[in-house]
A = this chain, B = another copy of it.
């Protein structure tokens, strides 16, 4: 048993790429271009394309490479047929998170203990633990073992997180370096509009959540300050974990989405201060409504 491959992830990436670029059947998919986009070599890209060929999404032409077989709009439909409902991403990560949230894991744990419990190799466990450490809800102790932090389990830190997000995003928008990116704004508008026009009833929870996060991260990215962007990305990864445990309240989505569109309007109209203030209340509002469920 060697390592687990990245090519499944690449497969998903290609599908997303095709969709967000709204590509049409027959368009060429150059191998090197995809490899660069996903920061891997051509090897896993080829493996992914081979899989997609079997799924009927791309067509291979000898010595010319792979070509999209269906329009982007129809890729969606072709996907669930071939593979399980949703690819797993990192099962170990979620198992640890669930067990911690359920109180099945003590505050202090040793690596050996976790290896036995989840029956995984040390290297795999460490990879996941370090990922968790980056998200800030576990830390390595100086001697042996790891200690969970309260970030995940306490109600208070959940609210602190919303305050942090609201402040960071508002301030990012007020920075002198903030400059709306026309291209990204257009794409964001398209996604939010798709959500309003029925998407919020059919999209999966993960897709809705991702669209939401992308919107906010796109806004912060316009500040041109990587520290603000990194801070938001980090807390969003954390949020995803917690909010997966909350039954999504789809009735709130239309309002949320229209608020997003309103923010885009304000920024494009040059009313930045207003937009920032509105953004702040938008985020804090989301917190107030959801917390009773936790």
Q: Establish whether residues B230 and A142, one from each chain, have CB atoms under 8 Å apart when the complex forms.
A: no
Q: Establish whether residues A44 and B143, one from each chain, have CB atoms under 8 Å apart when the complex forms.
A: yes
16 further A-B contacts with Cβ under 8 Å, apart from A6-B143, A40-B142, A130-B133, are A6-B142, A10-B142, A39-B141, A39-B142, A39-B143, A44-B143, A126-B126, A136-B230, A157-B227, A160-B224, A160-B226, A163-B175, A164-B231, A167-B171, A171-B171, A231-B231
| A41 interface hit (Cβ, 8 Å) | yes
Q: Establish whether residues B160 and A40, one from each chain, have CB atoms under 8 Å apart when the complex forms.
A: no
Q: Which residues of B contact A175 (CB under 8 A)?
A: 163, 167
Q: Which residues of B contact A134 (CB under 8 A)?
A: 130, 133-134
How many interface residues does A have (CB within 8 Å)?
40
Q: Establish whether residues B227 and A142, one from each chain, have CB atoms under 8 Å apart when the complex forms.
A: no
Q: How far is the CB of A99 from chain B (nearest CB, A)?
A: 22
| A225 interface hit (Cβ, 8 Å) | yes
Q: Which residues of B contact A6 (CB under 8 A)?
A: 142-143
Q: Which residues of B contact A167 (CB under 8 A)?
A: 171, 175
Q: Which 6 residue pairs spanning A and B have beta carbons closest together?
A: A164-B227, A40-B143, A130-B130, A160-B225, A167-B171, A6-B142
